[in-house]
Structure 1
Amino acid sequence: MAADAAAATQYVTTNDGVRLAYEQAGTAGPVVVLIHGWSGSRKYFCHNMPALAEHCQVYAYDQRFHGDSDSPSHGFHVARLAADLRDFLQALQLADVTVVGSSMGCAVIWSYVELFGLQRLKQAVFVDQAPLQNRAPDWQLGSKGCYDAATLAGLQKTLAENLEAVADGNAAGCLSLPLPEATMQLLKQETMRCKPQALGQLMADHAQLDWRPLLPLLALPCLNCVGGCSGVFPPEGCLHIAELAPDCCSVVFSRANHWLYLEQPQEFNALLLDFVAKGNAARPKRAEVA
């Protein structure tokens, strides 16, 4: 493990030799690990880490192909990202962890549970992700933008030709409430650091994975946060998670979009801290944040 003092960036190395960049805040309390989504980075949690660190030990890392982490020529699979999460938790000897996945980060958690069980995990939080992104004969609640072979090919073409258009489209589709201009620039900058081909290959794997059969096996408390104005998924698709997972409660952020943790950080941070402390005790099966 190495550290860059100026940027507060540290690194762990996975079992296939890939360096994952991370930062840590908070010196005491429960352990929370934040997992960003496709084309993001740990910096997407810039409005969450300081508040969470007042009560928790908080870790946020860049998944391979993102941020300051390595971009190898292999590993374009959610399962490999799940193995990276395992390696990350093992390297830092983290236990009783509340894992928080945003978008594709949810799939990383589900893949982790499928491959490695509940080792080192205590609870899980899912942020605006449907259990299947593609559409299927029995499922029409997947992604609004990338949901079959044709829309995937279109996304991959745009990635190859104009990554900036993808970055701008992310912001347009993932936000309903205004963010500070500095935050908007940061989000775009982080997407622009990604390699287009890697993003395209990773999305090809992510979009076709169906996690519905796994969700009933999630034997840990789960909190499911849904953007009521999500431009990425129909809310009903994301709410389906709590219908399948046995100990899962949903909270709909009625005014927010896919990046609800950025749009309403105070509400999200308070909700997350309450869940970290209490799990789903006395929590209704479904609630709403105005």
Structure 2
Amino acid sequence: MTTISLRTAPLRGGLTLPYAEAGYGGTPVVFVHALADSWWSFEPLLRRLPVSLHGYAPTQRGHGDADRPAEGYGPEDFAADLVDFLDTVGIDRAILVGSSSGGVPARIVAGSHPDRIAGLVLLGTPAALADKPAMAGLREAVDGLSDPVPRAFVEDLMSGMVAGQVAPGLIETMLEQSLKVPAHVWKETLHGLLEADLPATLAGILVPTLVIWGDQDGFLPRSDQQTILDAIHGARLITYEGVGHVVHWEQPERVIADLVEFAARTAPAGSAGAAGTP
């Protein structure tokens, strides 16, 4: 198992984001978590990183133990933080791995800063959200939240995330991380995702892109992933049979293997840019 170090990144705008780092000297890989998650979402991957990869997993604003500004929770805000994070920790060029809604700021950065991004990996990421039937009910439930966010709400939401077995204690850890998120962050982040033109954020992405999707994903149909493939020239899909929405919780070893193969083709060790710790 790879050792995980916990650090903090003070961004230019004054926010401080905690992040986990694992590995040394390999291709920089930056993991971007979804709404209500934190760096802990990628702990199963960070623990398994080979020497060829150098992993970074920041916790986004408003989440986990990161700073919680009163506003600024749209996809573009998270994308700007991601670029600032690359600058702060000294990453010239990296592979971005976005999980679920975390793939939205990741692909915004991939499209707007292709000089900084060697490749893009999308794990169960939606092409769009406003068109999904379940989103109306979720928005209504989130709009009704107040602090402290009820545990029952988070448990119900998370119940549909996986289709198979996950590591003992992981679901409980992620429940605890989700309960750290204030109600206003839930609301503003979800509103930002639903009100943004998400299909437009797929335009202009020229970096190599890998799409990984579980065929038991109860949130995203196969057609949604096809939209991503149609929009990003050369994008490749790998389908995990019998796996649910959060593929890296259920199949971390396989995700790592696919990530290693992707990195070897797109950014061999040392070619994705230097990284330093402030």
Q: TM-score, normalised by structure 1?
A: 0.85
SS state of the match for residue 18, structure 2? strand
Equivalent pair of 1:227/1:235 in contact (CA under 8 Å):
no
Q: How does 1:210-221 map to 2 (within 5 A)?
A: 210-221=197-208
| Structure 1 residue 121 corresponds to structure 2 residue 117 | yes
Aligned equivalent of 1:288: none
| Structure 1 residue 131 corresponds to structure 2 residue 88 | no
Deviations 1:70-93 (A, max 9, x none): 111121211110010010001112
1:205 pairs with one of 192, 200, 205? 192
Segments of 4+ moved more than 4 angstroms: 158-162
Aligned equivalent of 1:33: 30
Q: How does 1:238-277 map to 2 (within 5 A)?
A: 238-277=225-264
Aligned equivalent of 2:134: 145
CA distance in 2 between counterparts of 1:41 and 1:145 reads 23
CA distance in 2 between counterparts of 1:271 and 1:69 reads 30
Aligned equivalent of 2:9: 12
CA displacement at 1:173 relative to structure 2: 1.2
CA distance in 2 between counterparts of 1:26 and 1:258 reads 27
Change (3 A) 1:172 1:264: same
| Structure 1 residue 65 corresponds to structure 2 residue 62 | yes
2:209 pairs with one of 205, 216, 222? 222
Higher relative contact order at CA 8 Å, sep ≥6: structure 1 or structure 2?
2
Change (3 A) 1:10 1:248: same
CA distance in 2 between counterparts of 1:113 and 1:183 reads 29
Letter of the 1:31 partner, please give it: P
CA displacement at 1:213 relative to structure 2: 3.4
CA distance in 2 between counterparts of 1:196 and 1:44 reads 20
Letter of the 1:109 partner, please give it: A
CA distance in 2 between counterparts of 1:166 and 1:226 reads 25
Equivalent pair of 2:118/2:266 in contact (CA under 8 Å):
no
CA distance in 1 between counterparts of 2:105 and 2:26 reads 24
| Structure 1 residue 84 corresponds to structure 2 residue 71 | no
CA distance in 1 between counterparts of 2:103 and 2:167 reads 26
Ranges in structure 1 where 5+ consecutive residues have no aligned partner: 1-6, 136-141, 281-290
RMSD: 2.0
SS state of the match for residue 95, structure 2? strand
Aligned equivalent of 1:283: none
| Structure 1 residue 155 corresponds to structure 2 residue 142 | yes
Equivalent pair of 1:39/1:191 in contact (CA under 8 Å):
yes
SS state of the match for residue 38, structure 1? coil
Aligned equivalent of 1:75: 72
Change (3 A) 1:49 1:192: same
Tell me the matched-pair count: 264
CA displacement at 1:215 relative to structure 2: 2.4
Equivalent pair of 1:99/1:124 in contact (CA under 8 Å):
yes
The percent of aligned pairs where both chains have the same amino acid is 20
SS state of the match for residue 7, structure 2? strand
Change (3 A) 1:159 1:249: farther
Deviations 1:136-185 (A, max 9, x none): xxxxxx3x521x4x641233214667531232123211111122331121
Aligned equivalent of 1:189: 176
Deviations 1:107-142 (A, max 9, x none): 11122245x43131110001112221002xxxxxx3
Instruction: Compare 81-90 and 176-185 and name the one that shifted more.
Output: 176-185
CA distance in 2 between counterparts of 1:213 and 1:78 reads 12
CA distance in 2 between counterparts of 1:52 and 1:67 reads 23
Aligned equivalent of 1:165: 152
Change (3 A) 1:177 1:186: same
SS state of the match for residue 63, structure 1? coil
CA displacement at 1:54 relative to structure 2: 3.0
